[in-house]
Amino acid sequence: MTRMDLVEQIVAAKLERKLTWRQLAEAVGRSEVWTTSALLGQQCMSADEAAAAGNLLGLSQEEVRLLQVPPSKGSLGATPPTDPLIYRFHEIVQVYGTTLKELIHEKMGDGIMSAIDFEMSVDKVPDAKGDRVRVVMNGKFLPYRKW
Amino acid sequence: MTRMDLVEQIVAAKLERKLTWRQLAEAVGRSEVWTTSALLGQQCMSADEAAAAGNLLGLSQEEVRLLQVPPSKGSLGATPPTDPLIYRFHEIVQVYGTTLKELIHEKMGDGIMSAIDFEMSVDKVPDAKGDRVRVVMNGKFLPYRKW
Amino acid sequence: MTRMDLVEQIVAAKLERKLTWRQLAEAVGRSEVWTTSALLGQQCMSADEAAAAGNLLGLSQEEVRLLQVPPSKGSLGATPPTDPLIYRFHEIVQVYGTTLKELIHEKMGDGIMSAIDFEMSVDKVPDAKGDRVRVVMNGKFLPYRKW
Amino acid sequence: MTRMDLVEQIVAAKLERKLTWRQLAEAVGRSEVWTTSALLGQQCMSADEAAAAGNLLGLSQEEVRLLQVPPSKGSLGATPPTDPLIYRFHEIVQVYGTTLKELIHEKMGDGIMSAIDFEMSVDKVPDAKGDRVRVVMNGKFLPYRKW
Amino acid sequence: MTRMDLVEQIVAAKLERKLTWRQLAEAVGRSEVWTTSALLGQQCMSADEAAAAGNLLGLSQEEVRLLQVPPSKGSLGATPPTDPLIYRFHEIVQVYGTTLKELIHEKMGDGIMSAIDFEMSVDKVPDAKGDRVRVVMNGKFLPYRKW
Amino acid sequence: MTRMDLVEQIVAAKLERKLTWRQLAEAVGRSEVWTTSALLGQQCMSADEAAAAGNLLGLSQEEVRLLQVPPSKGSLGATPPTDPLIYRFHEIVQVYGTTLKELIHEKMGDGIMSAIDFEMSVDKVPDAKGDRVRVVMNGKFLPYRKW
Amino acid sequence: MTRMDLVEQIVAAKLERKLTWRQLAEAVGRSEVWTTSALLGQQCMSADEAAAAGNLLGLSQEEVRLLQVPPSKGSLGATPPTDPLIYRFHEIVQVYGTTLKELIHEKMGDGIMSAIDFEMSVDKVPDAKGDRVRVVMNGKFLPYRKW
Amino acid sequence: MTRMDLVEQIVAAKLERKLTWRQLAEAVGRSEVWTTSALLGQQCMSADEAAAAGNLLGLSQEEVRLLQVPPSKGSLGATPPTDPLIYRFHEIVQVYGTTLKELIHEKMGDGIMSAIDFEMSVDKVPDAKGDRVRVVMNGKFLPYRKW
Amino acid sequence: MTRMDLVEQIVAAKLERKLTWRQLAEAVGRSEVWTTSALLGQQCMSADEAAAAGNLLGLSQEEVRLLQVPPSKGSLGATPPTDPLIYRFHEIVQVYGTTLKELIHEKMGDGIMSAIDFEMSVDKVPDAKGDRVRVVMNGKFLPYRKW
Amino acid sequence: MTRMDLVEQIVAAKLERKLTWRQLAEAVGRSEVWTTSALLGQQCMSADEAAAAGNLLGLSQEEVRLLQVPPSKGSLGATPPTDPLIYRFHEIVQVYGTTLKELIHEKMGDGIMSAIDFEMSVDKVPDAKGDRVRVVMNGKFLPYRKW
């Protein structure tokens, strides 16, 4: 059983049992974003977290164990992504990539925003002219080391 | 003069005149992110906005006029980007792309977050364990039309 | 069962049962283009729409349920597409892409035509010198937000 | 002088002389789409058409002559295109490509819609909920020859 | 059963039954090139043609029916092709592509040679210094439409 | 001066002097296809051939000498080619590549059609239903050597 | 059974029966290089050659027959190859490609070394400072045809 | 002046002064292959070697000095190469790559043939049935280190 | 059974039997890096080494034999790698590649660091400000041969 | 003046003034690796560091100022790199990438080695059997954040 097989099975079980990502996140005791990405094969769970998720999803012992192994990350099949929702985020990097670079350097010096010591949230913002999506990214600034 | 020539000249003038993106944004009367991306060739300015920026940067009439033309957008020379700062945002799309898709669908149905009716901010968040970068994206949710 | 498995099965069932896309669209109560793209794995059906399609095609419960999940969109195996019919549309974007950009900007300002709040029709136009194909695309104009 | 040099010069002259594509199309005596694509280096003009365009744009004899040579077509620098407006059309081919194939085959048999014996128009459709863009493509159906 | 499965089965049946493409073409009542390309999944047969081929090859009802569906065309696994015989044709396009463009334009004006309203033959030409291959392509000239 | 510079200059001189490829071929004493491909930088001329072409085109000594050097061949800027006329030939290889392979093997055994010991012609074939283009390729069959 | 399935089976049988490529070449009556490349799916054997190889390897009738069909050639999964041994040959073409071109042209005129009417050998050359590998390639010179 | 500028200048000077690679190799005191590849920007000359080559080619002091700097190697503009002569060597790696791997492993164990501690020669072999090209590669065998 | 099947099975067996790479390395009598890379399909084991590893992992005779065959090396599915840990090493080559080249040339002349006669170690370095990873690479310097 | 222009000029000045990277590193007061990468356009210098380097290399005020701007990083023109020295490091990532991943996870948990909070050294290790190159990488371990 590969990690991708496990992800397919989790997605199928979630659909069959009519579970939401929010319910799974609450059971696991982590945020929605982290829990969803872990169950989609992008993070490594602790034994307890894996057991809680496995319980709701009806996973086997072997599957629960596999959720605790650091996965080979990278969730997209093609670059650039073909799915319109995911492509919009790719487009934001295309259009605003050099802007992000200039502003982070201006505010904080030469370095990067970590994608490892990193958190993200996704929320719905009701709006009379049409609801909006709000994505907040929060990553540690890592200055380039000189030696 | 192509748009890329204009961008190179703006970056050189900003460096020579020791201007910050913040100062340019204040003169233009827009946010830092929008102003920076406009001056890096990714947005289209109004006549007043272009004049204000041109004034600080010492641009010619022709250059101020060019800032008012919708540009051919896309700021990255290579896919995936080689610069580590920009790459981290590409990596976030790689690792969290399917997560963003699942959660936006769960919260709002089938549709996308617009990258056009869209705002973004970049801020420094002081933190004793190391300062952090906070990026907030806010885009209109567009449901897929059925017909 | 993945979405692609489902699409393969739908295409096979349609062939075996000698159904047309038009018949399926009428049963579903949507246009030909939308219904065809939904059954080819590019749109998300309501419970009623999925049930109507499933009825004609002889789909199982699980398959009807899968039709109601937002799919990972993007129907082409290769870029550029190798099939001559599909390639011609790719060629139209290659040859007329910058023209579309110039004219939409001239008529409506800086922004895009949405591919989400979007409709399309495909029709046969009888013509003595050889029948013609008429494709009409209709998408909401989204102006770039300034902030 | 290459064709791309000529296109850059035409775009600059149009900007400087505050001409619209519509004015150029009227002078040339062709539709907006065809005239714009010809001046962007994708079509071949007759001597009269080139002279009319050259007159408004202030082109030299050599430049007017170059407009009458069949160009090497294909207007996009990268595949897929990075500009959001042009990308949306690429996305339409990605998402609806197999749908177009199925419906044209169902309505007309095995063959293609010509991109050569082909016309296109782009129009603004006023709408209270937000103006819309309407693109109409009309191409000859070419059945596959059997021999 | 996908089209590629069918092609594999046809190739295997032809080998086992020691049939030639010529024999299949004669049974089908079409040229060698057309028949071969149809059986390799690149053309759409009529009911009679498919029945004749199916008879010689021992195909099932479902397989005969599948031969009558317009296929997703494009027979090469990689671009450029790795097989030396096929690569030579790719090389001819590489080396003589601009020559073909110049000469067709000189002789016939701006337009293309259709690959749809198109015939091809392949023949062996005995020659004392070494036999030769003769490939004749014959396609309708399609002038670019102006509008 | 690179070979591409020379080609650009030849194309410009041909346009200015209103020469046709046919006239150049007659002066050089070779076929249209060969002469055109040589002047487009894909073949190597003898001293006499280069002098005759240089005479009509008004080339310098250095340029005439450069025509006698074996060029780095391959005339297309992108793979697959974006120009519709050249793309159709690419498409023919895509759609008929495996057919060519099967038929050449059936008629002549394991080997290839040479693209070096090779001739080609391009002709206009008048036809009441629309003129046609006829391309004849003739290459030596090279059987695979066994050892 | 595809050709790649056959190659996998041959490699497994050779390992299980502890055969060497040399033993197989002797049985077949051809050189090591040719025999190995034929059994790896890159050449087409005669009936006798295939029978001899099949005998040693324990192949079925169908498998022996498949060895006599001209294969779709090209043995590498990725370009450039990732395996270090094979990559070194790719690197030789990268570093010495233009050198080979210049020297073959200087010695023999405009033309190529055939990869079809071609032989190769691979030998171990004992050397006190470390053994060496000697690869000899021998291909017919094919001058470009003029017409 | 970049290395590529220097190579272009060397090729032009060689052409103007009617020098052969053989003459340059004799002056430098190295083999034809090595000298040609060094002058084409792929090797690093000693002071004496560079002076001897510079003398024949009429190079400046700066250019002679540049010949002594280790270059950034890799002589091909595109992968796979489009020039037919160079492509044939690429094809040999494609068709015989796995064969070379199997035979070197069988004869010498797990390791590679070095492309650094490496020599090559190119020779013309007269033959009544058509002259042949003989390329001999000789590289040190490097066994994989275990630790 | 292909090499990749074997690797998957080894990884699964290691997980099930709760083995570490260190334990496997000790049993095999080689370093952690070498043993891990061998079991991940990138090195060739001796009979004893393979038997020791097979014993711990519960491999069959055939699997132990397969570990002794030189593998087709290259462990990454995509270039550049999508996994963040592996990508950082790719980034180091991107950012420091020309630096490595300049310094090795300055210290040792024109040549390379061998990746074959090569050792590597990976260690954890405890550090109060956050533990660090230390990777030491040690490869033979191979000077370019002149001839 | 772009960053690449500055790098070219630094390399030329270093060659003309017969400076070594070691001398430049001593003047700047940083390690060889860091100083070389900064002067090759991959790091951002302080005012003092830039002045010291500019002094030795004879750079202008503007050039010294440019050395203090965070550069767009990524030093390789092609992926994978064609230069053999740099390619060997790419190959190490290809062959040992999954090994590095497994061992870092085993020793330290799920996380990465930072390429930002990172040091590297390159040294010559004299050895009777042939000198060796020793590269030491030392980067902070960053555990994946859970939230």
J and F touch with 3+ CB pairs <8 Å, answer: no
The DSSP line for chain E is --HHHHHHHHHHHHHHTT--HHHHHHHHTS-HHHHHHHHTTSS---HHHHHHHHHHHT--HHHHHHTTSPP-----SSSS--SHHHHHHHHHHHHHHHHHHHHHHHHH-SEEEEEEEEEEEEEEE--TTS-EEEEEEEEEEEEPP--
Provide mean pLDDT across the span H95-121: 94
Decide if I60 is catalytic. Answer: no
Residues of chain G contacting I110 with CB distance shorter than 8 Å: none
Q: Do I94 and J101 touch (CB under 8 A)?
A: no
Instruction: Give the rounded percent of residues in chain C with a pLDDT score beyond 70.
Output: 99
Residues of chain A contacting I15 with CB distance shorter than 8 Å: 65-66, 69
For position J4, what pLDDT does the model report? Answer: 87
With an 8 Å Cβ cutoff, the interface of chain H facing chain E consists of 80, 82, 84, 87, 91, 94-95
Confidence band for J103, pLDDT divided at 50, 70 and 90: very high
For position J23, what pLDDT does the model report? Answer: 97
Rounded to the nearest angstrom, the minimum Cα separation between F135 and chain C is 20
Q: How far apart are CA H11 and CA H6, in angstroms?
A: 9
Decide if D145 is catalytic. Answer: no
More confident residue, C110 or C79: C110
Q: Do C30 and B143 touch (CB under 8 A)?
A: no
Q: Which residues of C are catalytic?
A: 88, 91, 114
Residues of chain G contacting J88 with CB distance shorter than 8 Å: none
Q: What is the DSSP letter of G13?
A: H
Provide mean pLDDT across the span C44-55: 96
Residues of chain J contacting B15 with CB distance shorter than 8 Å: 65-66, 69
Q: Are E17 and E59 in contact (CB under 8 A)?
A: no
Provide mean pLDDT across the span D46-63: 96
Q: Which of A96, A133, A139 sits opposite B113 (nearest CB)?
A: A133
Q: Which residues of A are catalytic?
A: 88, 91, 114
Residues of chain D contacting B68 with CB distance shorter than 8 Å: none
User: Active site residue: I8, I91, I102, I119, which one?
Assistant: I91
Q: Which of H86, H98, H136 sits opposite G134 (nearest CB)?
A: H136
Chain I neighbors (3+ CB pairs < 8 Å): A, B, G, H, J
Rounded to the nearest angstrom, the minimum Cα separation between I12 and chain A is 8
Q: Do J142 and A114 touch (CB under 8 A)?
A: yes
Tokens representing F127 are 């036809």
Confidence band for E1, pLDDT divided at 50, 70 and 90: confident
Q: How far apart are CA I147 and CA H136, in angstroms?
A: 13
Confidence band for C4, pLDDT divided at 50, 70 and 90: confident
For position I80, what pLDDT does the model report? Answer: 87
Q: What residue spans in chain D does CATH classification 3.30.1160.10 cover?
A: 84-143
| I77 to chain J: closest CA residue | J94
Q: Do H135 and G141 touch (CB under 8 A)?
A: no
Torsion over CA: D11, D17, D23, D24 (sign): negative
Chain J neighbors (3+ CB pairs < 8 Å): A, B, G, H, I
Q: Is the pLDDT of residue C3 over 80?
A: yes
Q: Which of I31, I34, I116 sits opposite H112 (nearest CB)?
A: I116
In a 3-state reduction of DSSP, which class is residue J28? helix
pLDDT tens column, H40-85: 999 999 999 999 999 999 999 999 999 999 998 987 777 789 999 9
Q: Is the pLDDT of residue F1 over 90?
A: no
Confidence band for J76, pLDDT divided at 50, 70 and 90: confident
For position B144, what pLDDT does the model report? Answer: 93
Q: Which residue has the tokens 């199997």?
A: H102
Cα-Cα-Cα-Cα torsion B137, B140, B145, C4, nearest 10 degrees, comes to 10
Tokens representing C14 are 């349609």
**10-residue stretch averages of pLDDT, chain G, 147 residues long:** 89 93 97 95 95 97 93 82 93 93 93 96 95 97 94
Q: How far apart are CA G135 and CA G132, in angstroms?
A: 10
Residues of chain B contacting A101 with CB distance shorter than 8 Å: 83, 85-86
Which superfamily does I3-66 belong to?
Answer: lambda repressor-like DNA-binding domains (1.10.260.40)
Q: Do H84 and F2 touch (CB under 8 A)?
A: no
Q: Is the pLDDT of residue B22 over 90?
A: yes
Provide mean pLDDT across the span I70-88: 87
Confidence band for J102, pLDDT divided at 50, 70 and 90: very high
Confidence band for F80, pLDDT divided at 50, 70 and 90: confident
Nearest to B114 by CA among B134, B135, B88, B137: B137
Q: What are phi and psi of G122, to 5 degrees?
A: -130, 125
Q: Do I87 and B82 touch (CB under 8 A)?
A: no
With an 8 Å Cβ cutoff, the interface of chain G facing chain E consists of 1-2, 62, 65-66, 69, 72-74, 76, 115-116
Confidence band for F75, pLDDT divided at 50, 70 and 90: confident
pLDDT tens column, G41-62: 999 999 999 999 999 999 999 9
Q: Which residues of G are catalytic?
A: 88, 91, 114
The residues, ordered by sequence, that sit 6+ positions from H61 with a Cβ below 8 Å of its Cβ are: none
Question: Average pLDDT over chain C, rounded to whole?
Answer: 93
Q: Do E116 and C8 touch (CB under 8 A)?
A: no
Provide mean pLDDT across the span J52-61: 96
| E67 to chain C: closest CA residue | C15
For position C2, what pLDDT does the model report? Answer: 84
Q: Is the pLDDT of residue J144 over 80?
A: yes
Residue type, H146: K
Q: Which of F72, F140, F144 to mutate to test the interface with H (most CBs of H within 10 A)?
A: F72
Residue type, A37: S
Q: How far apart are CA B137 and CA B119, in angstroms?
A: 6
Confidence band for A3, pLDDT divided at 50, 70 and 90: confident
| E85 to chain F: closest CA residue | F112
| Order of strands across the sheet that contains C132-143 | C111-125, C132-143, D132-143, D111-125
Instruction: Count chain A–chain D contacts defined by CB atoms under 8 A.
Output: 10
Q: Is the pLDDT of residue I79 over 90?
A: no
Q: Is the pLDDT of residue D79 over 80?
A: no
pLDDT tens column, F104-131: 999 999 999 999 999 999 999 999 999 9
pLDDT tens column, E89-109: 999 999 999 999 999 999 999
Residue type, G64: V
Rounded to the nearest angstrom, the minimum Cα separation between H42 and chain J is 9
Q: Is the pLDDT of residue I25 over 80?
A: yes
| F7 to chain E: closest CA residue | E98
For position G17, what pLDDT does the model report? Answer: 95
Tokens representing G14 are 């050779």
Q: How far apart are CA J5 and CA H60, in angstroms?
A: 22
More confident residue, A90 or A76: A90
Confidence band for H4, pLDDT divided at 50, 70 and 90: confident
pLDDT tens column, E61-89: 999 999 999 998 987 777 789 999 999 99
In a 3-state reduction of DSSP, which class is residue B33? helix
Residue type, C73: K
Q: How far apart are CA D84 and CA A98, in angstroms?
A: 16
Q: Which residue has the tokens 């032809």?
A: E14
Q: Which of J14, J73, J96 to mutate to test the interface with I (most CBs of I within 10 A)?
A: J96
Which superfamily does A110-147 belong to?
Answer: Cyanate lyase, C-terminal domain (3.30.1160.10)
Residues of chain E contacting D43 with CB distance shorter than 8 Å: 110, 144, 146
Instruction: Give the rounded percent of residues in chain J with a pLDDT score beyond 70.
Output: 99
With an 8 Å Cβ cutoff, the interface of chain J facing chain A consists of 30-31, 33-34, 43-44, 70, 72, 101, 105, 109-112, 114, 116-119, 142-147
Provide mean pLDDT across the span D89-97: 93
Instruction: Give the rounded percent of residues in chain J with a pLDDT score beyond 90.
Output: 87
With an 8 Å Cβ cutoff, the interface of chain E facing chain H consists of 80, 82, 84, 87, 91, 94-95
| E86 to chain F: closest CA residue | F97
Residues of chain H contacting I144 with CB distance shorter than 8 Å: 43-44, 116
Q: Is the pLDDT of residue C78 over 80?
A: no
Confidence band for B2, pLDDT divided at 50, 70 and 90: confident
Question: Average pLDDT over chain I, rounded to whole?
Answer: 93
Nearest to G13 by CA among G62, G47, G60: G60
More confident residue, J2 or I89: I89
Q: Which of B82, B84, B94 sits opposite I82 (nearest CB)?
A: B94
User: pTM of the entire structure?
Assistant: 0.93
Which superfamily does D84-143 belong to?
Answer: Cyanate lyase, C-terminal domain (3.30.1160.10)
For position B80, what pLDDT does the model report? Answer: 87
Q: Is B134 left (phi over 0), alpha (psi -120 to 50) or beta?
A: beta
Q: What is the DSSP letter of A145?
A: P
Q: Is the pLDDT of residue B79 over 90?
A: no
Provide mean pLDDT across the span B69-75: 88
Instruction: Count chain H–chain I contacts defined by CB atoms under 8 A.
Output: 58
Provide mean pLDDT across the span F48-55: 97
Q: What residue spans in chain A does CATH classification 1.10.260.40 cover?
A: 3-66
Q: Is the pLDDT of residue H22 over 90?
A: yes
| H83 to chain F: closest CA residue | F73
Q: Are D122 and D33 in contact (CB under 8 A)?
A: yes
